[in-house]
Amino acid sequence: MLIQDVSQRLSKEGSHPRIVEQLQHLDEILSLIDHQVVTESDLERIEGSTNQLMKEIGLLFDHQGMGILYAGTCH
């Protein structure tokens, strides 16, 4: 849901449509993950990658003066 929230927020803020499209595509891909085969180490890598993505998107939000999407750490 996190990626979906970000893409919706960016869409409302008038961000470049290609960025919104890529985040929506990422959300679709993540929904295809078979949760029964995800290991603890897979989960840690996914969470680490998501946190890094959110940090980078946070810089975009800050630079564009859009405020914050979430208060605190997501993972």
Position 72 in a domain: no
Query: 25 in a domain, yes or no?
Result: yes
Do the domain assignments include residue 23?
A: yes
Q: Which domain holds residue 47?
A: 2-64
Question: Which ranges in 1-75 belong to alpha helices (H)?
Answer: 2-12, 17-31, 40-64
pLDDT of residue 31: 87
Domain assignment of residue 73, yes or no: no
Give the C-alpha separation, 55 to 27, whole Å: 17
User: Could you tell me if residue 13 is inside a domain?
Assistant: yes
Domain count, the chain: 1
Tens-place pLDDT, residues 9-36: 878 877 778 888 888 888 888 888 898 9
Does position 59 have pLDDT exceeding 70, yes or no? yes
C-alpha 53/C-alpha 64 separation (Å) is: 17
Q: For residue 34, is it within any domain?
A: yes
* Domain annotation covers residue 52: yes
Rounded distance, CA 10 to CA 57, Å? 10
- Average pLDDT score over residue span 45-58: 85
